[in-house]
Amino acid sequence: MHEKEEVARLIMSNAHFTKELNNHLVSLNGATSAGNAPPLRPSQDSSDRMDSEYPIVHGDQTVTPEPAVDQAVHTSQTTPSTPGLLPPFDWDDFQCRYERALAEADGRERVVLDEFEQLSRYFRNWASASATHDNGRAEKRLQTRQRYVALSEETMTQKQKHFLTSPICDHFDTFVKRKATLAQAANADG
């Protein structure tokens, strides 16, 4: 297990535990709202408890009665916000719900990771195909340029051969020599 996954799991479990604890405390303090906390009244088979131990619901308000005199907790310091006797909390059920929530979160995480893996494979294939296509086009461009350069060199060689073997070249050489001779004669007279 990776360290990030473990941290995420711990954060999620802490948040879930805090929510459960808050729900339990809210139900103990007598606050009710739609879907906020499960009812605090136990099943009918626990007839050994008095009815006054449990909150009484009137519309949207809950009134929590004080414990009977024989059930009162005697301490040297009394807290004014004490709700009375706490009903037993089902820690086994809490642990089962906690483990079930972790298993569901693991399942959702696995689904997301599988989807990410599929998308990353798809992206790698797309990038590879694109690179292969671009490489093929680059090779064709290189071959085209090589052919162009080879043809240009061949054309230049043919022009050089034609220029050097042409009778025009001989006439041009003769013209240049005559002009040089005339320029020398003009300089000698002048």
What's the pLDDT score for residue 80?
A: 60
pLDDT at residue 60, rounded to an integer: 58
Q: CA 54 to CA 52: how far, in whole Å?
A: 6
Give the pLDDT confidence score for residue 53 in this predicted structure.
46
pLDDT of residue 5: 73
pLDDT of residue 142: 94
For position 35, what pLDDT does the model report?
45
Per-block mean pLDDT, blocks of 10 residues, the chain (190 long): 66 69 66 44 42 50 58 53 77 94 96 96 89 89 95 92 78 86 84
C-alpha to C-alpha distance for 84 and 64, rounded to whole angstroms: 8
**How far from each other are the two terminal CA atoms of the chain, in whole angstroms?**
105
Question: Among candidates 64, 46, 68, which has minimal Cα distance to 55?
Answer: 64
pLDDT at 43: 41
Burial environment of residue 32 by CB neighbours within 10 A (0 to 12, 13 to 18, 19 or more): middle
Given this model, what pLDDT does residue 30 score?
59
Whose structure tokens read 């671009």? 134
Q: How far apart are CA 73 and CA 51, in angstroms?
A: 18
Question: 16 near 101, Cβ under 8 Å?
Answer: yes
Paired tokens of 110:
């696995």
- Bridge partner list, 126: none
